[in-house]
Every structure is written in structure tokens, then in C-alpha cells.
Amino acid sequence: KAGVTQTPRYLIKTRGQQVTLSCSPISGHRSVSWYQQTPGQGLQFLFEYFSETQRNKGNFPGRFSGRQFSNSRSEMNVSTLELGDSALYLCASGVGSGENIQYFGAGTRLSVL
């Protein structure tokens, strides 16, 4: 069974641009959660999607948004990039919503110059 797939693995953008990251969950998993990982703050929860609906949201500005498609694949978008958005963005999939085992992808390393 294939694991969680995130694309692209690496991305370089400049300030002010926008970026879209993609996550394909494990087959049969219906929830996708996104996290931002930085050396200073560690892993921080961005949002969770289940059956195409956002179920939960972390404390991030509105520049961070996401969506989930009917096949459970998810995308995360960051608009008007700032230097501080440089981070490893991880997505995790789970069978159900809320408290269940999370399986993580390898992440997308975003660098904002």
C-alpha cells in the first residue's frame, strides 16, 4: 500500500508569490491534516480536512488555505509569501476525523527568498 505522497518535495519562491502544495493520502484514508515544521516552533497544526470539509483550523493567518477533493487528495495554498513561511510542510492522513493515527508524508521543503 502506497504511503502519503507530497509534491513537490522542494520549492523555492520569492516574497509576495503564492504557492500550492499537494498531498495524496493513503488509499482509503479520508482525512488529511497539514502541519508546518520550523526549527523554532516545531510542528504546528494548520488545518484538517475530512470528506472535503475543513473540520479544524490552527492559529495561522488567512493567507494559509486548503481544500480537499472528492478523492481525498488535498492541496494547501499560501498567498503573499513571507520570509517566515520558509518551513517544512507536512501532511498526514488518517482513516477518520479527529483523534486517530496520523500517517505522515515526507513533506515539502519551502524556501522563501
Partner 1 sequence: TQLLEQSPQFLSIQEGENLTVYCNSSSVFSSLQWYRQEPGEGPVLLVTVVTGGEVKKLKRLTFQFGDARKDSSLHITAAQPGDTGLYLCAGWPLLSNYKLTFGKGTLLTVNP
**Interface ranges with partner 1 (CB under 8 A):** 4, 33, 35, 41-45, 48, 55-56, 58, 90, 92, 97-99, 101-107
Give 16 or 98: the residue with its C-beta nearer to partner 1.
Answer: 98
CA-to-CA dists, residue 85 to 18, 104, 113, angstroms: 11, 20, 10
Q: How far is the CB of 46 from partner 1 (least distance, A)?
A: 10
Give the position of cell 505522515. Answer: 104
The phi, psi pair for 84, rounded to 5°, reads -70, -5
Give 62 or 99: the residue with its C-beta nearer to partner 1.
Answer: 99
Q: How far is the CB of 16 from partner 1 (least distance, A)?
A: 28
Give 18 or 52: the residue with its C-beta nearer to partner 1.
Answer: 52
Q: How far is the CB of 32 from partner 1 (least distance, A)?
A: 13
Q: How far is the CB of 15 from partner 1 (least distance, A)?
A: 26
Q: How far apart are the first and last CA of the chain?
A: 37
Give the position of cell 508546518. Answer: 36
Task: Measure the CA–CA gap between 29 and 24, rounded to whole angstroms.
Answer: 10
